[in-house]
Amino acid sequence: MAFHHKILGIVTLLYLCLFFIHLIFFAFKKEKIVAVMWPLLYGTLGLHTVGLILRWLESYRHGMGHAPLSNFYESLVFYAWCVSLIVVFMKKRLNYPAITVCATVISLFLMGYASISPSVDRNIQPLVPALQSNWLHIHVLTCFLAYASFAVSFISGFLYMFTWKNVIPPRDILDEINYRSVVVGFPMLSAGIFTGAVWAHYAWGSYWSWDPKETWSLITWIVYAVFLHARLMRGWKGKKIAILSIVGFASVIFTYFGVNFILSGLHSYAT
Amino acid sequence: MNAIKNKAAEQVTPPGKSLFQSLQGFIASIKFSIILLTCIALGSIIGTIIKQGVGPDEYLSLYSEHTYQIINLLGLNDVYHSPWFIALLFLFAINLTLCTVRRFMPAFKGSKKASVPEESAMMDMSMSFRASTSIDDAHLFSILKGYRISYSGVEGKVFQKGVLSKYGVLFIHTSIMLILIGGFVGLVAGFKGFMVLHKGDTKNTITIGGEKPYEKPLGFSIKCKEFQVSFYPNGAPKDYVSTVEVIENGKIIFEKQIRVNEPLSYKGVHIYQASYGSAPSFTFTIGGERVSLREKEAYRNDNISLMPIRFEQDIHNFGPGIMVAYLEQGEPRTVWFVKNIERFNEKIIQGVPVRFVDIQENIYTGLSVSRDPGIWIVWAGFAFILFGLYINFFQYYRRIYIRNIAGGYLVAGIAIKNKEAFKKEFEMLREKLNGIPS
């Protein structure tokens, strides 16, 4: 077993630890526990980064040398990393255990699925010619940061549906977090689509081919454009916005997973 | 409040407003935008569920004949180029333009001149303070970093920052129009085709696909000098490289290696490495001369003319064979050559001994060729939209008023967006000027 696999295995266990620490907090409501949580999340994110870098270096040892962004396993691990990164980035706003526990569950699920599912190939694979481009890095980075921001938006929209005093943050705060995360995610998704289009122009000869992945990213983009207009122009708030953020994330999930498993197209690298 | 008012204004048609006017209002409304965007999204979803652009047989194997008729009628086999989808995009372009114009017209018609509000009005603002020390302009400018003066008079001054952010939406919407226009230009003035080249081949036309494929002249020729495919140890393809020459008017303009991700560009035409394949070529000795021919490639000399027309990997367990067509006394004939059987691999055709010697696999390169004059409009659209998104969401407009009053001055500030950040900034300003909250 390669070293980076061990590191990423530890990272998965750390996400599990984080999850349990949250549960202990919800049971005992001791503020001290929250004080442990953030440093642990920083540490986990740091080790996660180390794991990704080691995998990158390992690929050079195999004579392939490419960033760990090229197959389904790598994208799952990278998505989990992006979710943690966005949580750390938006720490001031997201400093509520109810939100961080949801983010932890998402990261844990992604890491767990990546390392346990028998249908996921965990080996470092060589890059097919279409992926041998520097656009790979910026395209995948922007797309997954967008997906991660939309995950945060989904968390706040989801939590909005419930009330639990002193655990779930007040509704107006959830509403604000929802909007703020879309404000981060929407430009990222736009950048992701545009870098993808420029890359497609150089690799496939056409910047837009209505490939299912492209089409679904456009659909996702439209959903969040409607979200922003509904909020900023029509003054939508609260439940309606929460529902829109859930619909938007469903579209994200379909763009990421659904297209790979159900529809086939030019983007079939990640299956 | 504002939102509710808008809603009411859109829904109720005041008396005296004609149907045409209310329709006009609807076309320029955000409600219509949301309806259109939803329709575009739904249409796009259909396009990803129903297989696009395949033949009738494939649809009939998936759907009933009745369903297929509906698919055909609505153009669901090619959603993204169907009239209704293009009409939706067109309506969206109109709606977007009208919405944007309606929103920004007042700003362009002549924005109100900034002025310092009355003392009482400034005191009523949620963010204001008074200071008693005197202040000179240089000091003020050094504190108000990034602010610009928009009004200066005896009674006071008005400073503002982030003016550009007011136009973020204008940038974004104009960019979307640019992208749509660029796409339209590409559709009308561009083309996309395909070219298959064996090693040594030269071609000056490309095949444009579609219902009736045709050959389109390029205006220059492409010669394939070399084509190589390399593989990783696990068998996955590593690199496809076509070495080609661009030839115009009989002169070699330049030579280039085309790889995936590294297209060739010449006179606005881009040539991409798209695919590769292999086709067998057949070696004959014709009257002692060694000749290599591909399927359907004719050979002619004074005595004989022939053409390999059909290749079979295995003929009745005798191994590979090729059917050759030739003319005998003006009559077309065919004969099978079987490579591994002595009796069948040599024939006398019109007195010339013809022997089938060898089969070679020849790889060929598939190049995709396109021209899109709208590309730079689209790229500009992308760049502007990102800039627009940045200034719209990460910059914000705020104004600071300073009014001279007896024994000092009064400072007030307003921001429409991002009030919490501005509050902090304003608090810092108050501390720096030793202000007293009013």
What is the pLDDT, as a whole number, of residue B112? 65
Report the residue of chain A nearest B262, measured CA to CA: A202
Residues 6+ apart with CB under 8 A from B321: B311, B312, B315, B336, B337, B338, B339, B344
pLDDT digits (tens, 9 = 90+) for A80-130: 999 999 999 999 999 999 999 999 999 999 999 999 988 888 888 888 888
Q: What is the pLDDT of residues A122-171, one digit of tens each?
A: 888 888 888 889 999 999 999 999 999 999 999 999 999 998 888 899 99
pTM over 0.90: no
pLDDT exceeds cutoff 70 at B195: yes
Report the gap between the CA of A19 and the closest CA in chain B (Å). Answer: 32
Domain match, B363 and B234 both:
yes
Domain finish residue from A89, A119, A149: A119
Residue B177 lies in a domain: no
Shortest CA gap B81–chain A (Å): 10
Kindly state whether residues B276 and B415 are assigned to the same domain.
no
Whether A15 has a pLDDT exceeding 70, the answer reads yes
**Owning domain of residue A245:** 128-271
Residue B185 lies in a domain: no
Q: Which domain holds residue B316?
A: 194-367
CB nearest to B261's CB, from A64, A203, A223: A203
Split into its structural domains, chain B has a count of 3
Answer yes or no: do B233 and B355 share one domain.
yes
Which residues of chain A neighbour B49 with C-beta distances below 8 Å? Answer: 263
**Are residues B306 and B274 part of one domain?**
yes
For residues B37 and B123, state if they share a domain: no
Question: B35 and B151: one domain?
Answer: no
Nearest residue of B to residue A201, measured between CA atoms: B261
Write down the pLDDT at residue B368.
92
Looking at B367, B385, B405, the residue that finishes a domain is B367
Same domain, B343 and B227: yes
How far off is chain B from A259, nearest CA to CA, in Å?
Answer: 9
Are residues B344 and B213 part of one domain? yes
Q: Does one domain contain both A133 and A257?
A: yes
Residues B236, B125 share a domain:
no
Same domain, A173 and A231: yes
Q: What is the ipTM of this complex?
A: 0.92
Is B373 a domain residue? no
Of B48, B232, B386, the CB nearest to A126: B232
Pair B355, B400 in one domain: no
Statement to judge: residues B90 and B144 lie in one domain = no
Last residue of a domain, one of A119, A149, A175: A119
Residues B209 and B271 in one domain: yes
pLDDT of residue A264: 62
Say whether both A59 and A168 belong to one domain. Answer: no
How many residues make up chain B in this entry?
438
Handedness of CA A176, A182, A187, A191 (dihedral sign): positive
Instruction: State the total domains in chain A.
Output: 2
**Going by DSSP bridges, is the β-strand pair B352-371/B148-152 parallel, antiparallel, or unpaired?**
unpaired
